[in-house]
Amino acid sequence: MKNNTPAEGVFYFHNFNLKSYVMKELIDRLMSQGLTEQQALKAIEVVKDFAKEKFPVFSGAIEKMFDKYKPKDEEDFLE
């Protein structure tokens, strides 16, 4: 019989969209510091652009990382 209790430090993601959760968590943290949702999204974009500027050799990886976790456009019927 399988034990469904996760070990300490182990995370199970059943039917769970980790990408959206990670970005939402970051946005929520920024909003808890007094930013609006729009300001939080802009702050994330500024950090991404700053990192790409300071570490150009990693700009492709940085872009992919942020794109991976950005919220999907709910009206985009192709995805």
Residue 47 lies in a domain: yes
Q: Which residue segment(s) compose the domain that 52 sits in?
A: 38-69
| Structural domains counted in the chain | 1
> What does each of the 79 residues of the chain score in pLDDT, given as a tens digit?
445 454 444 444 444 455 567 788 889 999 999 999 999 989 989 999 999 999 999 999 988 887 776 666 654 445 4
Residue 3 lies in a domain: no
DSSP characters for the chain?
----SPPTT----SS--HHHHHHHHHHHHHHHTT--HHHHHHHHHHHHHHHHHH-GGGHHHHHHHHHHHSPPPTT-TT-
Instruction: Tell me the whole-structure pTM to 2 decimals.
Output: 0.61
pLDDT at 36: 94
